[in-house]
Amino acid sequence: MLKKVRILAVISALGLSMACKGPEGPMGPAGPQGDPGPGTRVTFSGQLDSRGEAAVQLPAEAGSLSAPPAVSCFISSSAAGAFLQVSTDLYSGISCGLVSGSGGLRVGLIGAPAYWYYRVAVVY
C-alpha cells in the first residue's frame, strides 16, 4: 500500500511540474530573407466578343509549348466580378488553353457567354 502511495505521489509531482509554465523569453532575431517567388506574374483583362471568345498575346519570355507558363482563366458577367475560374469543360464547351503561332504563345478562351468579362493570369 505504501508503495502505491509513493508511485501516485511521484506521478502527481511529475504531472504538476510538466503543467507549470514559466514566463516567455524575448523574441529572437528575424530570420534570413526568403528566396524570390516563382517568377513574373502578368494579368490580362478584357471583354469577350460576340462568340464568347478572346485571345491574349503573351510576352516572348513567357515560354513555349515545350516549357509552358502557368495559366489561369476567369470569366464574369460583370467587370467588377465575381470571377469564375475556367478550365477545359467538354460538356459546356468552355475552354482555356495555350496555342503557339508566329508571334509566340497566346492564351485562347472559347465557348464562354458572349460579352462577358475575362481575366487571364500568367506566371512564368
Q: What is the rounded average pLDDT of the residues 78-94?
A: 86
- Tell whether the model's pLDDT for residue 5 goes beyond 50: no
Closest CA to 62 of 52, 71, 53: 71
Q: Say if residue 23's pLDDT is above 90.
A: no
Helix or strand (DSSP H, E) at 15: helix 2-19
Closest CA to 67 of 33, 105, 93: 105
What amino acid is encoded at 116 in this protein? W
Q: What is the pLDDT of residue 11?
A: 53
Q: Report the pLDDT value the prediction gives residue 3, as an integer from 0 to 100.
A: 53
- pLDDT(37) > 90: no
Mean pLDDT throughout 104-117? 95
